[in-house]
Amino acid sequence: MPDRYRNFANSAVGRQLVRRLGLPRPSPLRRQRPDAPALPGPVLLGGHDVAELEHVLAKRLSAEVHTAETKASAEARYAGLVFDASDLTTIAGLSELYAFFHDRLERLASCGRVLVLGAIPDETGDPEAAATQAALEGFTRSLGKELRAGGTAQLLRLAPGARDGLDATLRFFLSYRSAFVSGQVVTVAATEPGEVPDPARPLDGKVALVTGAARGIGAVTARTLADQGATVVCLDVPEAGEKLATVAGDIGGSALQLNLATDDAPSTLSRWLEERHGGVDIVVHNAGITRDKTLARMDAKRWDSVLGVNLAAPHRVTADLLDRGVLRDGGRVVVLSSVSGIGGNRGQTNYAASKAGLIGLVRALAPGLAERGITANAVAPGFIETRMTAAMPVMEREAGRRLSSLAQGGLPVDVAETIAWLAHPGSAGVTGNVVRVCGQSFLGA
């Protein structure tokens, strides 16, 4: 359903009216086009030692890079502002953040990107250093809520040695692929950088499984992974067979009709993937259902079905794929959580419990899987424009759209692009993370 308020607020008459009334004016977001460069404009770097970061951006990502010392013209507009604060160890040193951003935010282009690089507070070994690094989170999240014109801000916490594997993460967060992702804190471990012969098709040779692929976010995710080179297995329940076949046919993938809530579904799926493809490299647990009621009015069937589909099935399927060795070394597991699992939602105790459980699942899986180079992450969408949100009462729908820093709903492609980044060979150091695709929702921390 079109966002009529956003369209009106950006019209000639609407701009004046919303300004006078003090209403939010959501800026149209730019999203990545296939023929567009990965980085849409010059990037300004600041911090203690930016030489290595400058090399990554300029040489490996083909970005136009300026340093803070560059005497750029007063008219220069930057697509990105990147500050390396990973060496800050004193509270007084935080003033460098102020000095860098204070005079330069006005030169951030529409839909510009802000990235702050930090260290992991618990690994600093010093109370003041830990406090200094922890302060970066509050700074970045608050700055994200101050940016205008579709701008976003993120904090990347880097383990020692993580810089060599930053290409894919920098490309994602500085590009329009991260249009609806803001205020996020992502931890990046040290890993060997993944080899990607063709940056336009980083998933060439990979087999991806997407559950719930017949419609909505699942269908768009299947298409996005296929566009980046993956062979996609599209899975959904038999009742969605016709739509599932259409999606699989459109992307040159295969369709598998299977109810994952049945007892033998995990073993059936593992055998099918092994027989047809010799294994799987990317597993996207997208399938999910809602059966909303307040807890006092919720019958046991509603509770059991939501927990069974949303949480038990991903757990059982992942365990079976790992036990049988069907999920190959270097693989990726991505689960679809929700901001409801982080902040809670009235009438969704079952749904929120299942989505919070998925976060616990990937955090528990990640350390043990690291030995095999497998990552496990959660993506938590906020208000996304889907068939489900289009059916909401109009006032609830409008509230959902406006209660974020970007003051609008996201699109399924925003979730799909985030999944594709986590599936990228160059994202090997990103594991155990929860990334919200919510426009920095005001609800849920």
Q: The tokens 């055998």 sit on which residue?
A: 271
- Residue of 150, 178, 176, 201 lying closest to 33 (CA atoms): 176
Distance CA 302, CA 348 (A): 10
Q: The tokens 């068939």 sit on which residue?
A: 387
Distance CA 367, CA 373 (A): 10
Distance CA 41, CA 109 (A): 9
Distance CA 339, CA 233 (A): 27
DSSP category for residue 184: E
DSSP category for residue 308: I
Q: Give me the count of residues in the chain.
A: 445
Partnered with residue 121 across adjacent β-strands are none
Distance CA 143, CA 59 (A): 29
Torsion (CA) 332, 337, 338, 341 in degrees, nearest 10: -140
Distance CA 93, CA 204 (A): 44
Distance CA 268, CA 101 (A): 54
Phi, psi for 82 (deg, rounded to 5): -125, 125
Q: DSSP 3-state assignment of 290?
A: coil
Q: DSSP 3-state assignment of 31?
A: coil
CA 78 to each of CA 42, 43, 45, 68, 302: distance values in angstroms, whole numbers, following the listed order: 5, 6, 10, 12, 50
What are the b/e assignments for 96-128, b being 16+ CB within 10 Å? bbeebbeebbeebbebbbbbbbbbbbeebeeee
Cβ contact 370:431 at 8 Å: yes
Q: Which amino acid is at 193?
A: P
Q: The tokens 């909303």 sit on which residue?
A: 292
- Residue of 132, 135, 176 lying closest to 29 (CA atoms): 176
Distance CA 271, CA 185 (A): 37
Active site residue 351: yes
Given the residues 5, 78, 176, 351, the one annotated as active site? 351
The residues annotated as belonging to the active site are: 351
